[in-house]
Structure 1
Amino acid sequence: MSTTKLLLILPLAAVLTYLVVLGLVYFSQRTLLYPGATPTAAPNLASWGDNVSVKTPDGETLHGLYSQGKPGKPGVLLFFGNGDRLDNYGFLAQALAARGIGLLAISYRGYPGSTGSPSEDGLLTDGIAAFDWLTPRINRGIVVLGRSLGTGIAVNTAAQRPASGVILISPYLSVLSVAEARYPLLPVALLLKDPFRSDLQIATVKQPKLFIHGRLDDSIPLSSGEALYHIAPEPKQMRIDEHSGHNDIWNDNTVSEVVKFVDALTRGT
């Protein structure tokens, strides 16, 4: 093969390879963003709390676990991370129950026990439906708690419903900004279906807010969480765990901070 032909073929091959990569990223992005979405059925027996069903306005049925608190106490509404499960939050339910505080956690659409398939619009709808389900069962206010991917759902829910407070653990400015930083050679803004723009909604979240982030987080960098914190309106506070990353952020200190924050809202402090 001549040098001239080779010089023509190599750029063409590079372009074709890049286009193939773009196609793979575009069509597989929701599998990557929602790794916990599987057709697995919900457990027959609840690992904590009671099995409940939450109906969404667009016809899906969400599996949830609900630990009812004491009368006159608030409730916490949990939105977990993208690869997580309801079963994993018995430790939080127990810690809250010790103060008489209830907990509702939902399995997003497409996640174990729930119908449908995940998307940003779908998960945001799930968050509102869960808040509306919990509202008549709580007479002292609902604190919305989001972790990782769930922080975007928590921000949206608090922006649209009268939550008493908001807790954001390992939050992001937006999924778009995190993806752009991780894949600088790809036109992420053009490809991304579910950008989860918390940065565009946080200004309307006037409730008291607690941010918690691990300094060693290499999935959602601390800088992303800090950027969201800085544009969030008061009242707000931020706790940085110097020794935690992304997947080990749920330690005793984090649980203690969550319980203390919710308890303080109960006392009006």
Structure 2
Amino acid sequence: MSATKYLLILPLMAVIAYVAFVGLIYLSQRALLFPGAGATPVPEQASWGETVRIKTPDGEMLYGLYSQGDSDKPCVLLFFGNGDRVDNYAFLAQALATRRIGLLAISYRGYPGSTGAPSEQGLLTDGIAAFDWLSAHAGSGIVVLGRSLGTGVAVNTAAKRPAVGVILVSPYLSVLSVAQTHYPFLPVELLLKDPFRSDLNIGKVGQPKLFLHGRLDDSIPLSSGQALYSLAPEPKQMLIYDGAGHNDILNDRMVGDVIRFVEALKGNGA
């Protein structure tokens, strides 16, 4: 092959390779966004709480763990991160239980113990179903707590249901904006099926809000959480943990801040 032909073919090969890569990302994006989904069995004996089953309006059955608290204290409804599991939150359930505060954590559709397959619309439906179930069983106000991906579920739930407070741990402006940060070489806006636009919903969340973010977070940049915070209406508070990243933010300090926020709501008539 002559040098001239090679120079003509090389850009074409690069374009073909790029298009193939973009296609692969498009087809596998939900596996990337929801890595915790799958048929992994749930433990026969839960590490905390009692097992509950929650039916969604579209016919899925969600697995959850529930630790009941006092009826005169708000109960926490937890929406976890994209690679997480409900049985990983014994530390939080036990800490809340010492203050007689309840906790419900649900496994999204397609995640261990639950039926279906995950999608943005599916998870948002799951969040509403979980809130409605807890509202019927807890007999108290509900504080919605979202972590990482789950902050989008929490924001949507609080925008549509009367939560008494909202806690967002490592929140994002949108999954779209985070994906654009991590993949600037891809046409993310055209490819993304599940953008989780918290930026479009946060203005509807008028309840007291606590934002928690690690300064060293390299999964969801602090700037994304700060951008969402700037759009949020009062009342709101943001705490930045200087030495924490994305995963090690789940520590005793965070648990203490969560408990203080919840108990302050009780003092305000929650």
Does the pair score TM above 0.5? yes
- CA drift at 1:184: 0.6
Check if 1:182 corresponds to 2:182.
yes
1:171 is paired with a residue of what secondary structure? coil
Query: 1:139-178 to 2 correspondence within 5 Å?
Result: 139-178=139-178
1:225 is paired with a residue of what secondary structure? helix
1:212–1:240 Cα contact (<8 Å) kept: yes
What is the alpha-carbon distance in structure 2 between the residues aligned to residue 37 and residue 137 of structure 1? 27
* Structure 1 vs Structure 2 CA RMSD: 0.8
- CA drift at 1:40: 1.6
Partner of 1:31: 31
Spell out, residue by residue over 1:6-43, the C-alpha distance to the aligned partner (whole angstroms, 9 max, x if none).
12100110100000000110000000000100112221
What is the alpha-carbon distance in structure 2 between the residues aligned to residue 140 and residue 110 of structure 1? 29
2:89 is paired with a residue of what secondary structure? helix
- Gaps of at least 5 residues in structure 2 are none
- May I ask how many residue pairs the two structures share in their alignment? 269
- CA drift at 1:71: 2.3
What is the alpha-carbon distance in structure 1 between the residues aligned to residue 140 and residue 64 of structure 2? 21
- Gaps of at least 5 residues in structure 1 are none
What is the alpha-carbon distance in structure 1 between the residues aligned to residue 234 and residue 65 of structure 2? 32
Name the TM-score, length of structure 2 as normaliser: 0.98
Partner of 2:40: 40
- CA drift at 1:138: 2.5
1:95–1:255 Cα contact (<8 Å) kept: yes
What is the alpha-carbon distance in structure 1 between the residues aligned to residue 197 and residue 57 of structure 2? 22
What is the alpha-carbon distance in structure 2 between the residues aligned to residue 247 and residue 26 of structure 1? 27
Spell out, residue by residue over 1:234-259, the C-alpha distance to the aligned partner (whole angstroms, 9 max, x if none).
00000000000001001111000000
2:245 is paired with a residue of what secondary structure? coil
Partner of 1:60: 60
Spell out, residue by residue over 1:59-89, the C-alpha distance to the aligned partner (whole angstroms, 9 max, x if none).
0000000000012121000000000011110
Name the TM-score, length of structure 1 as normaliser: 0.99
Partner of 2:211: 211
Partner of 1:91: 91
What is the alpha-carbon distance in structure 2 between the residues aligned to residue 44 and residue 223 of structure 1? 41
Check if 1:106 corresponds to 2:106.
yes
Check if 1:227 corresponds to 2:227.
yes
Percent identical residues: 72
Runs (4 or more) in structure 1 with deviation over 6 Å come to: none
